[in-house]
Amino acid sequence: MHLSMWTYPWDVQDQGLDRLAADLQDRAGLNMVSLATSYHAGRFLQPRSPHRKAYFPEDGTVYYTPDETLWADKEIRPLMAHNVAERGDMLAALVEARGTTGMKVSCWTVCLHNTRLGMLHPEHVTRNAFGNPNYYNLCPSSPAARDYVTTMVRDFSTRYRPDRIELESPNFMGFAHEYHHEKDGVGLNAEDDFLLSLCFCDHCMARSQAAGVNAAGAKEIVGRFIAELCEREIPEAQFPDFPTAGIDAFAGHSDLHAYLSWRTEPVTSLIAEIRAAAHPDTKVVLIDLANAWLGGVDLKAAADACDGLILCCYNMEPAAVRSQFENARTIVGNDKYLGVGLRVFYPEMENAEALAARAEAAIGAGATGVNFYNYGLVPEKRLDWVRLARDRIVPDGTA
């Protein structure tokens, strides 16, 4: 069973490899570390760091040493974080220490969520029905964006040989994604946010039209919906079955429904291309949510295209976790990896028992591994919460 904790490179640097291994293996009882290998900007409260309590990482950088020979002729290229040059390549250090620590290494890889690259390459970002760019989301239909992600995975998986790669955001992203000082005076509801997130960039228009979809008709419909939501005095839901009915909530609009059906194709095919680009000995799994269809993800097709899924169960009670994983195991079948992602955040998790109950619910319903979030963001004593959850799902002590 894979039992891992999502971890940032600066946390490894601040704590040291020996302390990290002792924390994750001896105290928490885990057997893997999921290291951020490509990541976005943010502001992080660092309760355990002896050096800083707040950290602002560089936006849209990679935390490994790229092979420049692979990138010489690429339109979109990665930027190695200054952190790597200044404080060391933690991916290399963890891989090298694998034989000593026995701790497996997974590359937690943010794919298309990259504002730095979006600003540099606006012709390759998602765009709404009015043509406005979402700079934080490279588009999965863009050939250059796809080449960037597949080359990055080929680069670090071939040279570092991690045990696993965890893909975050190889898909379309929502309109509301905590961009810097987002402003919304309308009061967007869930369907409004979804409509604003639908991409009609040149790449999507061409790719969908080549598949026989009336993308222009879908764009016109969505543009009208967006204009109408902006004119209402107060927000009003227009699709009562949204989001529970999935894309069928829009069945009354045939061009839009067809476009939403097509929308999974660039995501699924990109995941398959990433799997093909990765070293054959490295497993590739997708990180997502149960309602992944909102981002253009067909969970069954995505699992078939790689080695499995990690479904995050944030803000969910144990019964809901159990139900989600019973359904997910039915969708992906018995041959694919199916992990659960759990946050060790308060007050979402009030105590160790709350975390253990959710882990037990997921494993009991068909999950075969757990990722905990996040090593550097929670107080040290919550590692004991992780240990209790681990002991509940692996009572004999062998994972």
The total domain count for the chain is 1
Is the pLDDT score of 393 beyond 80?
yes
Average pLDDT, the chain: 96
How many residues make up the chain in this entry? 399
Q: Which domain holds residue 61?
A: 2-172+263-393
Domain-embedded: residue 127: yes
Residues 201 and 376: their CA atoms lie apart, in Å, by 38
Domain-embedded: residue 351: yes
What DSSP string describes 296-326?
A: T--HHHHHHHSSEEEEE-TT--HHHHHHHHH
Is the pLDDT score of 399 beyond 80?
no
Domain-embedded: residue 253: no
End-to-end C-alpha distance for the chain, whole angstroms: 5
Domain-embedded: residue 384: yes
Mean pLDDT of 126-155: 98
pLDDT for residue 397: 67
pLDDT for residue 176: 83
Domain-embedded: residue 206: no
Mean pLDDT of 213-237: 97
CATH at residue 347: 3.20.20.80
pLDDT band at 93 (very low <50, low <70, confident <90, very high): very high
Domain-embedded: residue 273: yes
Mean pLDDT of 184-210: 96
pLDDT for residue 108: 98
Residues 46 and 41: their CA atoms lie apart, in Å, by 15
DSSP 384: H
Beta strand 308-312 with 337-343: parallel, antiparallel or unpaired?
parallel
Beta strand 2-7 with 61-62: parallel, antiparallel or unpaired?
unpaired
Burial 259-278 (b: 16+ CB within 10 A, else e): bbbbbbbbbbbbbbbbbebb
Percent of the chain residues topping a pLDDT of 90: 96
Six token digits for residue 30: 């885990």
pLDDT for residue 182: 82
What DSSP string describes 228-278?
A: HHHH-SS---S-TTTTTTGGGGGTTSHHHHHHHHHTHHHHHHHHHHHHHHS
Domain-embedded: residue 215: no
Domain-embedded: residue 73: yes
pLDDT for residue 60: 97
Mean pLDDT of 194-208: 98
Percent of the chain residues topping a pLDDT of 70: 99
Residues 243 and 237: their CA atoms lie apart, in Å, by 11
Is the pLDDT score of 332 beyond 70?
yes
What DSSP string describes 145-205?
A: HHHHHHHHHHHHHHHH--SEEEEE--S---S-S--TT---SS---HHHHHHHH----HHHH
pLDDT band at 156 (very low <50, low <70, confident <90, very high): very high
Contact 152, 83 (CB under 8 A): no
pTM of the model: 0.97
pLDDT band at 343 (very low <50, low <70, confident <90, very high): very high
